[in-house]
Chain A
Amino acid sequence: MKNLKNWVGEITGAFSATLKHAFAERDTVCYPAEKPDLPERWRGRIILTVTPEGEERCVACYLCSSVCPSSAITIQGAEREDDERRYAEKFEIDFTRCIFCGLCEEACPTRAIQTTNDFEMGASSRAELVYDKSRLLENHTGKYPDFDYFKRAGVPIRGKDVGEGANEKPPVDVYTLLP
């Protein structure tokens, strides 16, 4: 008797769940016809961004490549010919190694490297998944529309001499003897 009661209960329970879900709102989307709506802070395809003035933000400080737990980033820095502004001559991310942990973004002092909510990176060979600078660099500021590291640093660059940065006094006069 007790068995029969359980049996009936299980069947009706299962069928009612099925019926309920048959008419419920759908979670599945018809990808790729329909795109999922991912939050902005999703950790997807990594990009390099530029300052509001359109200069490359990355200063080749090697912090992202050092913090990367899967050694996915390879950088070589160089100096710009006319003003010694350091930039990444070579910047490579191997997305076959990247685990999308976002540590590089956290480590970056210049907000250059950013994760995006794009995850569509399928490729038919491993080599295609090694992105060089031309595929990483995008011509926008990403999530941080205002930040410009060099404005706050003490080194002179084109258009900003020593003492012209944020919060800086003009350089001292080397030759003055006045108190």
Chain B
Amino acid sequence: MGTLYIDDQPVEFQPGDNVLDAAKRANIEVPYFCYHPALGAVGSCRVCAMETVPSREGEQPRTVMTCTLKAQDGMRFRFAQSDKAPGVSKTMVEFYMTRHPNDCPVCDEGGDCHLQNMTVEVGHAYRRFDGQKKTYPNQLLGPLVWNTANRCITCYRCVRFYQDYALGDDFGAMGSRNNVLFRRIDDGAFDSPFAGNIITVCPTGTFTDKVFRRKYSRTWMLKKSASICAHCSVGCHVEPGARAGTLRRVVPNENSAVNQYFICDRGRYAPHASEAANRPLQVKVGGQLRQEPALAVLRQALAVSDARWGVMGSAREDVVTNLVLQQLASDLNAPFTAFTDPLTEVRTKTAVNLSLSAPSLQDIEAADCILVVGELTEHAPMMELAVRQALKQGKPVMMLHAAASLLAGMVRKQRSLQAQTQAPVLWAETLQKLISSLSQEQADGWAALLKNAKAPVLLGVAEVMPTAAIKALAELAAVLGEQARVGFALPAANSFGAAQVSQAGSSEQLLEALERGDINALLVVGADPMSGWQGERWSKALAKIQHLVVVDHIHSATVQAATVVVPSATVSEHNGVFINYEGRVQSFAKAYSRETQVLLQEELIALLSGDARARVQSQLLSMLGSVMPSPGSTGSRIKPATLPIGQLAEAVLGNGPALVLQGWHGEEEVAGFATELASLTPHDSVGIAPAYAKALGLTLDKNSRLTISVHNKQLTLPVSLSAQVAEGCVAVSRRAFAELQARLGDEVKLTAAMRLSEEPAAPSVVAHFTPLQGDNSNGGLRP
């Protein structure tokens, strides 16, 4: 804290501020281009000029770049009063504009353009330069990002984000001298899961949102709200923008305690699932579309006389919805769960119980040693971006994983990153070994790194970690002491909240009640049990019942099987509360209403009796502990009591290869319906380590195919040889798991199949998954 003076006006600054930050905080409109709070100052654009006021006799006033000056108490500057500084800024802007195209009317940045604002601000209104403009070729960057190279002002923000902040390496500054331009080596989509942020950091329209482009609207015309991303458990702050009842774009919403300035591509593009052509938008009863209000239909459906109900909430629906459903279940005397898979339920709850001191993203960035268990990038991208910040500073990062992961792939470039592959069943043992070597005098390797760290952070991926490994990771943190923090990426946006409302073993109980025939009707809200880990069991059980009422906003397998479909609102279309992986309670606000009538989740409360409504209120209060956080605030963290967890047998070490999940960073239940994002889904393959294949007696190359057999099911896929797959494991996608009706850790038989060159492979696509279509990775319409 301190005070400096700009034009004799006192300006307060915070520790770590530079003069530009302080001026912005005081609402003094200093022009700037290259500075970005997360990317730092490089002082290259020469626009943020001010003039110093000499403090001593004989000193001359100097023109300085304020972004490169650390704020100090008592500094004095002239800005508006200065004769020189505004001229410097104006000249620089005029230089930038000499070759700038006259694109504003057709530029998607227009109206939300930093360059436009600054040009108007410095008062440069007419081009004096009448020479010819330099032009640059555009590049096709896949289905998500649109490039118009002429608009670039070489502030380097995009590369500073892509390479320096997000540690990507397939995009950068190309060319030399005044021919510098920013592009990928080859045309096509970016490799980084954070590439969409270059749209946000670029102060011009050089990089714009291609999905938004297809349904463009000026940003000032959009209806916006402070919302929370619903596509993983990090709970990033986002701002959806909509017009005429349809979602147009999603951008990060700046905040101090969660994701700060950025979001991952899943968070940016998955919400476009709300515009999927097959989204249910009308009530459907017995296969017939009806023009009736959603709530009335739901009430009718629940009133049938011969039904014995079960109720299923969802880890991707908000806390209030789940609480209401839990009360509805007790009104109907029905079993309730918010989970579709007993194993996921146990793992989630175990992780939630051990997450009381989970590190925030800032804690992860500031950690001096990190241990990651599982493929973090593919499950919680922004959490992994925080890990990259520690990695960038040379802090040791250790990773234990079983399938290919983008983080593990950086091991050759990042010296302080160490990755070890191992089958998940062995993780608990490895962690226990680490714990015991910590207690030895001469700890070495990973144990030594952890032991010497002052703020170590341990991160796990709950969905793929055996329960024993989750416990062992927490135990490791406990042994390391107070300074160590352990956190888990949970399977869905509100997994933490869903764990609070479901009783021990609730999903197994519901499933068994269905299988026994104790219940003959099921209400499902926002879940897709039929394509989850237990898809086969659910499909069989649900085929027997008379009433399957499904409330959802995606055309999921369960929706397709339902007797009554009630369309519901997406996160941007209603109000609610999520609890993220750290137990942080954050609420989100509705951005827009759809033109057709969809059920808003908050309307479900109308189905409850008066008593039950009061119980929802009191439960919500006791759960959240205080008042509801307002949308846009980063809320407060709750520390709930330990949840009871049932017992469940998990996969054990077998003799044959075990199936592990090959995740993809754009993948999630809802994201699969966002056409553009889903078009980047990698082709299905079976990942296997070359050494392991050899040990199994398989001679494989990149044209080989393998047939996986498990429980009478078979699937033939091309091979992807990767040293990132653990020994004893074969890695396949979620789609392949669904097709094989297999579960994590299942033992499989591998046989060599016909090679690719001998027979063209038809891509195998499961019906519920949005097929690969539309834009190819080359993305563009022009060849």
Q: Mark B646-673, 1 if CB is under 8 A from A, else 0.
A: 0000000000000000000000000000
Q: Mark A63-79, 1 if CB is under 8 A from B, else 0.
A: 10010000000001111
CB atoms of B781 and A81 under 8 A apart = yes
Chain A residues contacting B150 (CB-CB under 8 Å) are: 154-155, 162
Of A79, A155, A167, A177, which one neighbours B103 at CB under 8 angstroms? A155
Q: How far, in angstroms, from A162 to B217 measured CA to CA in the complex?
A: 25
Q: Does B95 contact A (CB under 8 A)?
A: no
Q: A76-B244, A169-B133 are in contact. Are A153 and B101 (CB under 8 A)?
A: yes
CB atoms of B105 and A59 under 8 A apart = yes
Q: A66-B221, A162-B137 are in contact. Are A172 and B181 (CB under 8 A)?
A: yes
- Residues 89 to 111 of chain B near chain A (Cβ within 8 Å): 100-106, 110
Of B103, B132, B217, B220, which one neighbours A169 at CB under 8 angstroms? B132
CB atoms of A167 and B133 under 8 A apart = yes
Chain B residues contacting A143 (CB-CB under 8 Å) are: none
A-B contact count (CB 8 A): 98
Of B103, B244, B781, which one neighbours A153 at CB under 8 angstroms? B103
Q: How far, in angstroms, from A59 to B148 measured CA to CA in the complex?
A: 17
Q: A62-B221, A66-B220, A169-B132 are in contact. Are A154 and B151 (CB under 8 A)?
A: yes
CB atoms of A63 and B105 under 8 A apart = yes
Q: Does A129 contact B (CB under 8 A)?
A: no
CB atoms of A84 and B781 under 8 A apart = yes
Q: Does B214 contact A (CB under 8 A)?
A: yes
Q: Does A163 contact B (CB under 8 A)?
A: yes
CB atoms of A171 and B101 under 8 A apart = no
Of A82, A110, A174, which one neighbours B137 at CB under 8 angstroms? A174
Q: How far, in angstroms, from A155 to B146 measured CA to CA in the complex?
A: 12
Q: Does B760 contact A (CB under 8 A)?
A: no
Q: How far, in angstroms, from A78 to B132 measured CA to CA in the complex?
A: 30
Q: How far, in angstroms, from A83 to B244 measured CA to CA in the complex?
A: 26
Smallest Cβ-Cβ distance to B146: which chain A residue? A84
Q: Does A138 contact B (CB under 8 A)?
A: no
Chain A residues contacting B26 (CB-CB under 8 Å) are: none
Q: A61-B105, A167-B132 are in contact. Are A66 and B138 (CB under 8 A)?
A: no
Q: Does B299 contact A (CB under 8 A)?
A: no
Q: A167-B133, A171-B136, A172-B175 are in contact. Are A79 and B214 (CB under 8 A)?
A: yes
Of B104, B135, B179, B244, which one neighbours A109 at CB under 8 angstroms? B104
Q: A61-B105, A82-B781 are in contact. Are A155 and B148 (CB under 8 A)?
A: yes
Chain B residues contacting A110 (CB-CB under 8 Å) are: 105
Q: A168-B133, A179-B177 are in contact. Are A154 and B218 (CB under 8 A)?
A: no
Q: Does B213 contact A (CB under 8 A)?
A: yes
- Residues 103 to 122 of chain A near chain B (Cβ within 8 Å): 109-110
Q: Does A152 contact B (CB under 8 A)?
A: yes
CB atoms of A153 and B181 under 8 A apart = no
Q: Does B174 contact A (CB under 8 A)?
A: yes
Of B103, B181, B220, B781, which one neighbours A154 at CB under 8 angstroms? B103
Min CB–CB distance A134 → chain B (angstroms): 20
Q: Does A124 contact B (CB under 8 A)?
A: no
Min CB–CB distance A24 → chain B (angstroms): 51
Chain B residues contacting A173 (CB-CB under 8 Å) are: 179
Min CB–CB distance B152 → chain A (angstroms): 11
Q: Does A133 contact B (CB under 8 A)?
A: no
Q: Does A12 contact B (CB under 8 A)?
A: no
Q: How far, in angstroms, from A109 to B244 measured CA to CA in the complex?
A: 25
Q: How far, in angstroms, from A176 to B135 measured CA to CA in the complex?
A: 15
CB atoms of A59 and B132 under 8 A apart = no
Q: Does A144 contact B (CB under 8 A)?
A: no
Min CB–CB distance B675 → chain A (angstroms): 16
Of A109, A154, A171, A172, which one neighbours B148 at CB under 8 angstroms? A154
Q: A62-B221, A79-B213, A155-B106 are in contact. Are A174 and B135 (CB under 8 A)?
A: no
Q: Does A86 contact B (CB under 8 A)?
A: yes
Q: Does A7 contact B (CB under 8 A)?
A: no
Q: How far, in angstroms, from A154 to B100 measured CA to CA in the complex?
A: 8
Q: A66-B221, A167-B133, A174-B183 are in contact. Are A162 and B138 (CB under 8 A)?
A: yes
Q: Mark B109-149, 1 if CB is under 8 A from A, else 0.
A: 01000000000000000000010111111100000000011
CB atoms of B217 and A170 under 8 A apart = no
Min CB–CB distance A149 → chain B (angstroms): 7
Q: How far, in angstroms, from A179 to B105 measured CA to CA in the complex?
A: 35
Q: A77-B216, A154-B150 are in contact. Are A109 and B105 (CB under 8 A)?
A: yes
Q: How far, in angstroms, from A109 to B107 measured CA to CA in the complex?
A: 13
Q: How far, in angstroms, from A62 to B149 measured CA to CA in the complex?
A: 23
Q: How far, in angstroms, from A77 to B103 measured CA to CA in the complex?
A: 16
CB atoms of A172 and B135 under 8 A apart = yes
Min CB–CB distance B367 → chain A (angstroms): 40
Q: How far, in angstroms, from A176 to B781 measured CA to CA in the complex?
A: 27
Q: Does A156 contact B (CB under 8 A)?
A: yes
Q: How far, in angstroms, from A154 to B103 measured CA to CA in the complex?
A: 6
Q: How far, in angstroms, from A179 to B151 measured CA to CA in the complex?
A: 23
Q: How far, in angstroms, from A111 to B213 measured CA to CA in the complex?
A: 23
Min CB–CB distance B149 → chain A (angstroms): 8
Min CB–CB distance B242 → chain A (angstroms): 13
Q: Which of A81, A168, A179 has the most CB of B within 10 A?
A: A168
Of B102, B134, B174, which one neighbours A152 at CB under 8 angstroms? B102
CB atoms of A153 and B214 under 8 A apart = no
Of A66, A162, A176, which one neighbours B218 at CB under 8 angstroms? A66
Q: Does B176 contact A (CB under 8 A)?
A: yes
Min CB–CB distance A106 → chain B (angstroms): 14
Q: Mark A141-168, 1 if CB is under 8 A from B, else 0.
A: 0000000010011111000001101011
Q: A79-B213, A84-B782, A174-B181 are in contact. Are A153 and B137 (CB under 8 A)?
A: no
Name 14 A/B residue pairs within 8 A (Cβ), A-sorted.
Answer: A59-B105, A61-B218, A77-B216, A109-B104, A109-B105, A154-B101, A154-B135, A156-B138, A163-B135, A167-B132, A167-B133, A168-B132, A168-B135, A172-B136
Taking A154-B133, A162-B135, A171-B137 as given, write out 17 further A-B residue pairs in contact, using a Cβ cutoff of 8 Å, ordered by the A residue number.
A61-B105, A63-B105, A76-B217, A77-B217, A78-B214, A83-B781, A83-B782, A109-B105, A149-B105, A155-B101, A155-B106, A155-B150, A156-B138, A167-B133, A169-B133, A169-B135, A172-B135
Please list the 5 inter-chain residue pairs (A to B) with the smallest Cβ-Cβ separation, ordered nearest first. Answer: A154-B101, A61-B105, A163-B135, A154-B150, A109-B105
